[in-house]
């Protein structure tokens, strides 16, 4: 894809500029509506805030609406600094299209790459630009980002590149690629052949890729996947082997550094669902299990609850905290848990239930390391993972991790740095777009054994946690992955420029 016919800059679709040229009367009326909506707590508050978020992300220098956004959510005015890339700009451009504003898995992964490249690329051979693509925007996620990340986002969003000089990365599930199967900005934002190269970055949590997605992968010049598991499953599903490249994920080991944080007061954000709260935390400290996931069957919350509640009681001095959020469901997690326990026939121990807490309020990205810091072990018996960002975040925080030994996590789980959870069998996905695929059924009995082992062998667990952080630094630190990405992009540029 080295066509040089189109010399025009990449045009952002007009939909992303709907507020840009409107008259001041519109802004004033919008401000009035917004203030009234917030004041009276109308249902459309989140919608209006999201529209302001979109405009903030795409408007620089400052506009009236951006000033309003800053007034409602004050951000310290940055000092005058040198502009991004003050050195002579490379002619080539890397346009990274991803759900940067969503806060989901692809969003977190995309930011990890952007920050790694921006902070660690030496003598960059390309400029960087970003574009919101894929999932919906989340105002809470945007506000929870560090200020320097938000400033970088605005700068990179407003970077302009010529098609003929641009490598595009479509970082999302293939259904969002051009032509998209749902409403989103198509990626690439024009015909594939108008760019130097087009790369799809994606992954799957099951044993295969469906036929439609195979076609979309084969339309790309390259398909980046995070693990050897995905290399095998994509090729076996029919994706051209010459296109599939393993590009591991980076983990910000400086941000996720256990020595840099005090633990979060979990009692201030956790809701007790089962068991009794500890009255005196100083004299009766609990061993805290932590799990972070979106509420869906794939994440194995049922396996976790069954194992935990059957293995432990109030007398064991443990607690399980679930940091979760809805996924095509409501937020009534407490009733969901109680109903599951009743239907499962799990009997309450004589000494009472081991306590279960749910944290379903938004935790800002800047506070996430403090959540891990408050735990003694991390556990996630999921049925399939593309990568498992909470797992590597916990490992970077030196937590002993118990996780299903299948799919994405096999790239980094070892017997030395974690507690890999064996799989009992493979089961068929019964609903959703991947119905008929297979994923893992983690062992309930072996999870009970591993959770008990961690509680009874704290020093052994600490040794594994220390080794986990060492492995994250050695294999997945930002500078290492930035070098991997840069070398592959350089290879692409050399190939297309011959």
> How far is the C-alpha of 156 from the C-alpha of 148, rounded, in Å?
12
DSSP 363-399: --GGGHHHHHHT-SEEEE--S--SS-HHHHHHHHTT-
Residues 300 and 390: beta-carbon distance below 8 Å = no
Q: Domain 258-476: state its class.
A: alpha beta
3-state secondary structure of 154: helix
Residue holding tokens 């492995």? 471
Distance CA 283, CA 93 (A): 58
Q: Do domains 80-250+479-496 and 258-476 have the same CATH topology?
A: yes
Of the CA atoms within 13 Å of residue 364, those in its CB half-sphere come to 9
Confirm or reject CATH 3.10.580.10 for domain 80-250+479-496, answering yes or no: no
Predicted TM-score of the model (pTM): 0.83
Token pair in block for residue 260: 């840099």
Domains in the chain: boundaries: 80-250+479-496, 258-476
Give exposure, 226-247, as e/b (b: 16+ Cβ within 10 Å).
bbebbbebbbebebeeebbbeb
Residue 23 corresponds to which tokens in the numbers above?
Answer: 């008259």
The whole-angstrom separation of Cα 239 and Cα 216 is 9
In order along its 498 residues, the chain shows pLDDT tens digits of 433 333 334 434 433 333 232 333 334 344 433 333 333 333 334 545 555 555 555 544 333 223 323 333 333 434 444 555 555 678 899 999 999 999 888 999 999 999 999 999 877 899 999 999 998 888 888 988 899 999 999 999 999 899 999 999 999 999 999 999 999 999 999 999 999 999 999 999 999 999 999 999 999 999 999 999 999 999 999 999 999 999 999 999 999 999 999 999 998 999 999 999 865 444 357 999 999 999 999 999 999 999 999 999 999 999 999 999 876 667 889 999 999 999 999 999 999 999 999 999 889 889 999 999 999 999 999 999 999 999 999 999 999 999 999 999 999 999 999 999 999 999 999 998 899 999 999 999 999 999 999 999 999 999 999 999 999 999 999 999 999 999 999 999 999 887
- Answer for the pair 162, 93: CB distance below 8 angstroms, yes or no: yes
Record the tokens describing residue 399, joined without a space: 């937590």
CA torsion 271-276-282-287 (nearest 10°) is -80
């Amino acid at each position: 894809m080295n066509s040089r016919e189109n010399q025009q800059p990449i045009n952002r679709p007009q939909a992303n500029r709907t507020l840009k040229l409107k008259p001041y009367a519109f802004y004033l009326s919008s401000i009035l509506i917004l203030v009234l909506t917030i004041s009276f707590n109308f249902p459309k508050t989140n919608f209006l805030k999201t529209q302001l978020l979109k405009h903030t992300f795409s408007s620089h220098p400052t506009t009236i609406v951006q000033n309003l956004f800053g007034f409602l959510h004050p951000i310290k005015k940055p000092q005058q600094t040198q502009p991004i890339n003050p050195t002579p700009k490379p002619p080539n451009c890397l346009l990274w299209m991803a759900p940067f504003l969503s806060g989901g898995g692809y969003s977190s992964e995309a930011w990890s790459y952007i920050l790694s490249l921006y902070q660690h690329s030496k003598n960059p051979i390309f400029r960087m630009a970003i574009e919101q693509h894929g999932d919906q925007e989340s105002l809470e996620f945007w506000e929870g980002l560090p200020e320097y990340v938000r400033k970088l986002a605005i700068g990179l969003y407003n970077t302009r590149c010529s098609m003929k000089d641009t490598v595009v990365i479509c970082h999302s599930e293939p259904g969002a690629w051009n032509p998209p199967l749902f409403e989103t900005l198509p990626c690439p934002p024009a015909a594939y052949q108008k760019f130097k190269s087009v790369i799809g970055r994606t992954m799957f949590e099951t044993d295969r890729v469906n036929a439609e997605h195979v076609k979309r992968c084969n339309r790309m010049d390259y398909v980046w996947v995070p693990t050897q598991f995905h290399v095998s499953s994509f090729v076996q599903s029919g994706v051209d082997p010459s296109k599939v490249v393993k590009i591991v994920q980076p983990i910000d080991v400086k941000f996720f550094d256990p020595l840099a944080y005090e633990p979060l007061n979990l009692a201030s954000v956790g809701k007790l669902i089962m068991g009794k709260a500890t009255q005196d935390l100083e004299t009766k400290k609990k061993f805290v299990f932590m799990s972070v996931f979106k509420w869906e069957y794939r994440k194995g919350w049922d396996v976790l609850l069954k194992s935990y509640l059957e293995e432990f009681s109030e007398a064991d001095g443990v607690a399980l905290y679930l940091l979760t959020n809805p996924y095509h469901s409501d937020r009534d997690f407490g009733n969901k848990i109680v109903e599951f326990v009743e239907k499962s026939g799990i009997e309450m121990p004589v000494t009472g239930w081991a306590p279960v807490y749910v944290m379903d309020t938004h935790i800002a990205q800047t506070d996430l390391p403090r959540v891990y810091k408050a735990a003694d072990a991390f556990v996630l018996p999921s049925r399939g993972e593309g990568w498992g960002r909470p797992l590597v975040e916990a490992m970077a925080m030196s937590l002993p991790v118990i996780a299903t030994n299948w799919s994405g996590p096999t790239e980094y789980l070892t017997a030395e740095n974690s507690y890999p959870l064996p799989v009992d069998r493979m089961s068929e996905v019964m609903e959703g777009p991947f119905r008929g695929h297979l994923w893992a059924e983690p062992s309930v009995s072996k999870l009970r054994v591993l959770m008990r082992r961690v509680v009874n062998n704290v020093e052994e667990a600490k040794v594994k946690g220390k080794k986990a952080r060492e492995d994250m630094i050695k294999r997945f630190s930002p500078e290492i992955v930035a070098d991997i990405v840069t070398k592959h992009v350089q290879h692409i540029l050399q190939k297309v420029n011959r």
